[in-house]
Structure 1
Amino acid sequence: MRAIFAALHLGGDYADIQLGIGFLGVALAFGLTVLTMAYAVAHISGAHFNPAVTIGLAVGKRFEWKDVPAYVVAQVLGGLVAGAALLAIASGKDGFDRVGHMAANGYGVNSPGGYSMTAVLIAEVILTAFFLYVILGATDGRAPTGFAPIAIGLALTLIHLISIPVSNTSVNPARSTAVAFFNGDGAPGQLWLFWVAPIFGAVIAGATYALFAGNDTDITGEVSHADRERRGA
């Protein structure tokens, strides 16, 4: 929402002038949204708002594959409803033109900084993998309890600070889908990248996390206290 309403960025000779909350504010808005919602609903659904996260957690054996389709459908539908709501609100201002102004993700001419398809693809893969590593680490049975939403929200903030100029930041196929079709202006045709790259990055993280972090065991090789509790030991 803040990316559409509050982060005004001028073009032409004034391309470096930002008004409103700017990129920093947008990054914080995304991160704080995930942080607060994780505390609000993690005990209900695990706070999955992102198909890439759900798939990455399933690859990492932290989530049941049988539940993945329902989660992904819910995430995409929720995103589309949110996108429609944003369009309805934004259209309440005289002169608003949705085409090219719905904070859609893109590459080439649709990248805020004019980055190429290859550059955007690499950035989205790496940043989504980083995001999943943080999620997997913060929710590991050996990690301090109660702080996972803070780590995850701050990680998402950092990701946006890095990549808003590159792609408008996706790392979330549902977020990209939510506004692509309302935005138009080439966004629907480029949407495939913002599904493929985040999911690929998430799969990399899910498949490799245990290789360097190990399972939920302490340094002596004994099963951790948190893991024993989960297993009922």
Structure 2
Amino acid sequence: MSPVPMTHRLWAEFPGTFWLVFGGCGSAVLAAKVVSDGTINMGIGFVGVALAFGLTVVTGAYAVGHISGGHFNPARSLGVAWYAGGDALSQVWVFILASPVGAAIASISYVFLTGDEDDAPAEAEARVGAEG
């Protein structure tokens, strides 16, 4: 089996991390929304968020794990490279670069698609200040 080219690894890690952040973190954000009367609507709940993260990791690993190893996390990439040493340490920059880029684009895509520009924390803070 021939080694996978570095460009293929880079382009595999990027969508893998995008999928993890968009599906996992997106579900966590959607799980609990503060409703206008101050109550909390749990949406998919804790189990739904856990399942969303688990399913995004599994689908990402099945989709691109054979190409890049399915790291999707710079800390995991660095730990594995540190343990393996040698060539792995010289190649870890690809995984450290691709993961934050994929995560940032997933975050921007989430805000663009949902129109949620993080107004809820400011509203909640104003409500607490008015009540307290």
TM class, shorter-length:
0.7 to 0.9
Bigger relative CO (Cα 8 Å, ≥ 6 apart): 2
Q: With structure 1 as the length reference, what TM-score do the two structures score?
A: 0.43
Q: Which among 2, 15, 38 is matched to residue 126 of structure 1?
A: 15
Q: How many angstroms does 1:154 deviate by? A: 1.5
State the match for 1:183 in structure 2: 84
More helix by share: 2
Whole-Å Cα distance in 2 between the matches of residues 156 and 123 of structure 1? 13
Q: How many angstroms does 1:130 deviate by? A: 1.1
Q: What pairs with 1:158-173 in structure 2 (closer than 5 Å)?
A: 158-173=59-74
Whole-Å Cα distance in 1 between the matches of residues 22 and 83 of structure 2? 32
Contact (CA 8 Å) 1:136, 1:209: kept in 2 or not?
no
State the match for 1:214 in structure 2: 115
* Unmatched runs of 5 consecutive residues or more in structure 1: 1-14, 16-112, 217-222
Count of residues in correspondence between the two structures = 112
Q: How many angstroms does 1:200 deviate by? A: 0.6
State the match for 2:56 in structure 1: 155
After superposing the two structures, state which structure 1 stretch, 207-216 or 181-190, moved more.
207-216
State the match for 2:39 in structure 1: none
Contact (CA 8 Å) 1:176, 1:194: kept in 2 or not?
yes
* Secondary structure, counterpart of 2:58 in structure 1: helix
Whole-Å Cα distance in 2 between the matches of residues 181 and 210 of structure 1? 35
Q: With structure 2 as the length reference, what TM-score do the two structures score?
A: 0.73
Residue 102 of structure 2 aligns with an amino acid whose one-letter code is G
Residue 107 of structure 2 aligns with an amino acid whose one-letter code is G
Q: How many angstroms does 1:205 deviate by? A: 1.0
Q: What pairs with 1:96-107 in structure 2 (closer than 5 Å)?
A: none
Whole-Å Cα distance in 2 between the matches of residues 134 and 204 of structure 1? 13
* Unmatched runs of 5 consecutive residues or more in structure 2: 34-42
Residue 207 of structure 1 aligns with an amino acid whose one-letter code is I
RMSD (Å) for aligned C-alpha atoms: 2.5
Q: How many angstroms does 1:197 deviate by? A: 0.3
Residue 4 of structure 2 aligns with an amino acid whose one-letter code is Y
Q: Which among 145, 156, 172 is matched to residue 45 of structure 2?
A: 145
Q: How many angstroms does 1:132 deviate by? A: 0.7
Whole-Å Cα distance in 1 between the matches of residues 106 and 73 of structure 2? 15
The CA deviation string for residues 173-193 of structure 1, in whole angstroms up to 9 with x for no partner, is: 100111212212410000101
Runs of 4+ aligned structure 1 residues displaced above 2 Å come to none
Q: How many angstroms does 1:144 deviate by? A: 1.7
State the match for 1:116 in structure 2: 5
State the match for 1:192 in structure 2: 93
